[in-house]
Chain A
Amino acid sequence: MGDTANTPPADERGSSLKNLHPQVPMFSSPFQIQKNLSKHRYLLKNMVNRNLNQRYNKALLGYLWTLLEPALLASVYYVLFVIIANYEDKSYPMLILLGVIGWGLFARILNATVSTLVTNAGMIKQAGFPLEIYSASDCKTNLVISSISLLTIIPFMFYLGLQPTSALWMLPVAMFMLYLSAWGIGLMVASANVVFPDVAHAFRFITRAGFFVSPVMWTYELLIERAGADSPYIDIAMLNPVVVPLTMMKHSAQGTIPDFAIQHVIYAAAFPILAFIFGSIIFMATSRGVVKRL
Chain B
Amino acid sequence: MSILKRMLLKPFGKSKPGPQNCGLSDVSLTVYKGEIIGIIGRNGSGKSTLLRTMAGIYKPDNGWVGIDGQISLLAGVGVGMNKDLTGRENIHLYGSMLGNEREVMDSMTDEIIAFSELEEFIDEPLRTYSSGMKARLGISVATAVKPDILLIDEVLGVGDPGFKKRSQQRIREMMDDSNTVVLVSHSFSLLKEICSRMIMMEKGKMKCIGTPEEVIAAYHEAEG
Contacts and interface: CB of A to CB of B under 8 A. Distances in A.
Contacts, number: 110
A53 B85 contact: yes
From DSSP, what is the main secondary structure of chain B's interface residues? loop
A239 to B, nearest CB: 29
A123 B80 CA distance: 6
B17 interface: no
B67 interface: yes
Interface residues of B, number: 37
B110 interface: no
Given A20-B56, A58-B84, A124-B57, A43 B97 contact: yes
Query: Which one of A19, A40, A125, A288 has the greatest number of beta carbons of chain B within 10 Å?
Result: A125
Interface string A1-20: 11011111100100111111
B39 to A, nearest CB: 16
A289 B93 CA distance: 26
A226 interface: no
Interface stretch (A66-74, A126-134, A200-208): A126-134
B96 to A, nearest CB: 4
B99 interface: yes
A77 B100 CA distance: 48
Given A125-B57, A128-B71, A21 B80 contact: no
B203 to A, nearest CB: 17
B57 A53 contact: no
A5 B99 CA distance: 26
Contacts of A288: 58-59
Q: Which 6 A-B pairs have the closest CB atoms?
A: A17-B66, A43-B96, A20-B56, A288-B59, A126-B79, A20-B65
12 contacts: A1-B63, A42-B96, A42-B100, A42-B102, A43-B96, A46-B97, A126-B73, A128-B71, A288-B59, A291-B57, A292-B58, A292-B59
Interface of A: 1-2, 4-9, 12, 15-21, 40, 42-43, 45-47, 49-50, 53-54, 57-58, 122-129, 288-289, 291-292
Interface of B: 23, 28, 52, 55-68, 71, 73, 75-76, 79-80, 82, 84-85, 89, 92-93, 96-102, 105
